[in-house]
Copies of this chain bind each other. A is one copy, B any other.
Amino acid sequence: MRQDVLNLTPYKPSKAVCEIKLDANENPYEIPNEVKQRIEKRIKNEKLNFYCDASCDELRGQLSIYTGLKPEQIFVGSGGDEIISDLIFAFAGPGRDVIIPVPSFGSYETFARISGANVIKVPLLLEEANGNFSWDLDVAGIKRYFRSDIPQLMFLCYPNNPTGDYFDEQKMFDLIDSFNGIIVIDEAYFEFGGKTFSDRLSDYPNIVIVRTFSKAFCIAGLRVGYALGHEDVIEQFYKVKLPYNVNTYSQIAATEILKNIEWVKKTTVGLIESRDKLVNELKKLDGITVYPSSTNFLLCKLKKSRDYVYEQLLDRGILTRRLNGENLDNTLRFNVGTPEQNDKLLMAFKQIL
């Protein structure tokens, strides 16, 4: 057993029984029945005894329409997680650096360690101005690690999970313009904030964008994600991925949802409104600091012990998430639910805080 792998903590999500599940940044809405029926109709005619399409041609075609990029600039994987691990195995590995501003999505570090790469974590700066907080990039702190003698890979989660908001755009460009390696911009929550680097790919062939169907597209259970980038970079995915990485059902489901993009957009607008309303209501409470969010979730800092608040919420049937890491002590993360769920959460917070 590899010692560095032995030291890793297995990712085992909570299986707590709850009425309202807000711990995994999932979408509270199911895809519409008419789309589900169309998927079922198609799957009836699929020969599941044959392997799935190894290059997801139909789905890449639909994604090409959605993103405005060529199919050759798009790679489809089994969730954003596979995109991240594929990138690390292709571009990182032993003797190479992986630079991660933290706290951020845990998979970057996990797969960097599995690949044998050197992990460099640079804490975000938590700034306050007039009672408004922001988590932003420590540009000078990160640049200190830039070097040209060994290959480096850098992850920028935009907007950032678990802190919830975008980094300053100028700071992003400052880092991007002075970095030699591959820059991964994780846009898993793109649809909830609208900012993207996908229109800058022609200027920056070393940027790879990660997207997912697990958030705005409502199919976390089906594992579909994709990468956008220069076609020479995208081609490398095919060398490191599992030969048949996205199963037939999930390819069809993602394709059919893209054909109903208006429903996705409408649902997303609704969630954004719910989020902003929830933020405003939470801000009225004492004992809780709500960090700004351009995602479908909120990170909050509590005055009372977070374990106490977590357990009290769970007693009321509401599952949230306690994350550990830089500056995350006594914080809770929870995603935006349906208006009814948000009301219940708000009521619970009022009672508990």
Asked if A51 meets B239 with Cβ closer than 8 Å, knowing A5-B89, A89-B5, A250-B249, the reply is: no
Q: Are A247 and B221 in contact (CB under 8 A)?
A: yes
Return chain B residues, CB-CB under 8 Å to A52.
Answer: 220-223
Return chain B residues, CB-CB under 8 Å to A218.
Answer: 48-49
Asked if A81 meets B51 with Cβ closer than 8 Å, knowing A5-B236, A89-B5, A221-B247, the reply is: no
Return chain B residues, CB-CB under 8 Å to A43.
Answer: 40
Q: Which A residues lie at the B interface, using CB under 8 A?
A: 1-2, 5-6, 8-13, 21, 24, 26-31, 36, 40, 43-44, 46-52, 54-55, 78-79, 81-82, 85, 89-91, 93-94, 96, 107, 114, 116, 151, 214, 218-223, 235-236, 238-240, 242-245, 247-250, 253
* A38 CB, nearest partner CB in chain B, Å: 13
- CA distance in complex: A26, B49 (Å): 6
Return chain B residues, CB-CB under 8 Å to A235.
Answer: 10
Q: Are A5 and B249 in contact (CB under 8 A)?
A: no
Return chain B residues, CB-CB under 8 Å to A24.
Answer: 50-51
From B36, B240, B242, give the contact of A82 (CB < 8 A). Answer: B242
From B54, B55, B81, B91, give the contact of A1 (CB < 8 A). Answer: B91
19 residue pairs A–B, Cβ–Cβ below 8 Å:
A5-B239, A5-B240, A6-B236, A10-B235, A12-B54, A13-B51, A26-B49, A30-B48, A30-B49, A31-B48, A40-B44, A47-B221, A48-B219, A48-B221, A78-B245, A221-B247, A222-B247, A223-B247, A247-B249
From B51, B222, B243, give the contact of A248 (CB < 8 A). Answer: B222
Q: Are B21 and A50 in contact (CB under 8 A)?
A: yes
Q: Are B219 and A49 in contact (CB under 8 A)?
A: yes
- CA distance in complex: A75, B169 (Å): 43
Q: Which residue of B lies closest to A29 (CB)?
A: B49
- CA distance in complex: A21, B47 (Å): 12
Return chain B residues, CB-CB under 8 Å to A12.
Answer: 54-55, 238
Asked if A49 meets B31 with Cβ closer than 8 Å, knowing A2-B91, A10-B239, A238-B11, the reply is: yes
Pairs A-B, 4 closest by C-beta atoms: A10-B238, A221-B248, A48-B221, A8-B239
Q: Are A250 and B253 in contact (CB under 8 A)?
A: no
* A293 CB, nearest partner CB in chain B, Å: 19
- CA distance in complex: A277, B187 (Å): 55
Return chain B residues, CB-CB under 8 Å to A223.
Answer: 52, 244-245, 247
* A96 CB, nearest partner CB in chain B, Å: 8
Return chain B residues, CB-CB under 8 Å to A40.
Answer: 40, 43-44
